[in-house]
Amino acid sequence: MSKKFYKPLIINLIAFCGAASATDCSDVSKVVAKKLQDAYVIEATATKMSQLLNSKDFLSRCSKQKSAEKIADFTTIELNKIANDKHLSVVYDPQWVKELKEYRASEQNTAVSDRRVMETPTDNYGFKKVEMLEGNIGYLDIRMFSDSHLGGATLESAMKFLQHADGIIIDLRNNFGGSPFMVNTLASYFFDMDTVHLLTFESRENGRLTQVQDWTSPYVPGPRFKDTPLYILTSHNSASAAESFSYSMKNLSRATVVGEVTAGAAHARRAEIINEDYILTLPRLRPVDPRTNDNWERKGVTPNIEAVSDNAFNVAYADVLNTLIKKGSDNIKLHQWVYPLVKAESNRYVVKQEDINLITGQYGERKIYQEDGKVFYQHADDRPFEIELIDRETIIFKAFSSARLQAVYKDNKVVAVKMLSFGEGGQEFKRTLSKA
């Protein structure tokens, strides 16, 4: 789980390079070794890193670095040969040290916290969009996990809006993280009153390990969705708390994750001042899933169904409809009606002129023809309607969605078209002429 620093981890370019010395290596390595031994979240790894930093070989190689920046980079690389932790780094940045000292010595941290409480309503506490999709599928786009005491009421309203959904898609493709408390609250809606162990958070301070278990709540305001199919959308940008929710719900077999492998940011870190020139970004806390005895640090959350980020929505949408059809849902006719359209979208079909040529022609009193780059369907002398192929078989009317056409193929030729209407049987019209 990541935390925002008051200064980016990317090192600012400075007009000059700090001069390196053997003293720098010795001083930095001693302080870093002590801080790692006291607080790095995995004790065995902390011990190995401390031993490395105190070794003659490391100090000898460190003293050969040409600048303070090189010392920082060298130390970071060597430490991560052991830890493989993307949150662990040594940074040379005297300006950052100065600003961090001033910040922590002032009341500014309280002011920033108070201001954040006031600012969050402007982004609706991270809740970007909630809607009911065709086929009675609920969709919730969450861009950040705000604290539950701030965004809990907004979540409650969203879940009440979705309470009659046959399936739910939660979009975390643009979610960079946030509060673990909101993760717990959201997860609780998808189980019954029996609490479920989500994660154990391990932290170390002064060499002492503390473990805190995170469980779902036996109470949630509003409806529960314990049997509702749940799909979670992810991307390479999904990080921290977004990964926590995805990882836990996947391992509990409570959700199907669709999209890309996530960012791999599990550990929570803190900026530790080494001296007037250097800062250590120190991972002090990590989540551990009781089912895997592991987390997603560096690895990310692997989706159940892999899909590129910008098509993950269509893939999940089609899959949840297909799941409902297979289980014989109460709304099966509606799901069967919507599914072919969504499935076609997920296949990312690109209209080809040869496919248009195959469907154009006369079908008794009906005809399909192309004019000025557009395709039309016309019955007798009625006004024509513009149509669109969304795959080789499925043809939709641009003006309405209550009916559509389906091309009937034989030996790779269209021999008929079916007029399909929701809730009714299809009516087939055979081709009578090859062209309109």
Q: For 222-235, what is the mean pLDDT?
A: 96
Q: For 257-282, what is the mean pLDDT?
A: 94
pLDDT tens, residue by residue, 121-172: 668 999 999 999 999 999 999 999 998 889 999 999 999 999 999 999 999 9
User: Within 13 Å of residue 15, how many CA atoms lie on the same side as its CB?
Assistant: 0
Pair 423, 412: CB distance under 8 Å: no
Percentage above 90 pLDDT, the chain: 83
The length of the chain in residues reads 436
Instruction: Please give the pLDDT value at position 323.
Output: 98
Q: For 272-296, what is the mean pLDDT?
A: 95
DSSP letter for each residue of 131-183: EEETTTEEEEEES-B--HHHHHHHHHHHHHHTTT-SEEEEE-TT---B-HHHH
Write the secondary structure of 314-342 as one string of H (helix), E (strand) and C (coil).
HHHHHHHHHHHHHCCCCCHHHHHHHHHHH
Instruction: Please give the pLDDT value at position 197.
Output: 97
Pair 185, 155: CB distance under 8 Å: yes
The tokens describing 170, both together, are 């939660």
pLDDT tens, residue by residue, 402-434: 899 999 999 999 999 999 998 787 899 999 975
Domain covering 108-326, topology:
2-enoyl-CoA Hydratase; Chain A, domain 1 (3.90.226)
Q: For 223-245, what is the mean pLDDT?
A: 97
Place of tokens 């970071």: 76
Place of tokens 């296949």: 347
Domain map (residue ranges) of the chain:
108-326, 353-430
The tokens describing 411, both together, are 């030996």
DSSP letter for each residue of 356-395: HHHH-EEETTEEEEEETTEEEEEETTSPPEEEEESSSSEE
In this model, does residue 3 exceed pLDDT 60? no
Alpha-carbon span 212 to 202, nearest angstrom: 7
Alpha-carbon span 2 to 432, nearest angstrom: 66
Residue 6: pLDDT band (50, 70, 90) is very low
Q: For 366-379, what is the mean pLDDT?
A: 96
Sorted by sequence, the CB contacts under 8 Å of residue 434 that are 6+ apart come out as 361
In this model, does residue 9 exceed pLDDT 70? no
Place of tokens 């009317």: 397
pLDDT tens, residue by residue, 59-111: 999 999 999 999 999 999 999 999 988 889 999 999 999 999 988 887 655 55
Nearest CA to 214 out of 250, 176, 241 is that of: 241
pLDDT tens, residue by residue, 320-359: 999 999 999 999 999 999 999 999 999 999 999 999 999 9
pLDDT tens, residue by residue, 169-186: 999 999 999 999 999 999
Instruction: Please give the pLDDT value at position 288.
Output: 97
Q: For 183-209, what is the mean pLDDT?
A: 95
Place of tokens 């870190």: 269
Buried b / exposed e over 184-219, threshold 16 CB at 10 Å, is bbbbbbbbeeeebebbbbbbbeeeeeeeeebebeee
Average pLDDT in the chain: 90
Instruction: Please give the pLDDT value at position 24.
Output: 85
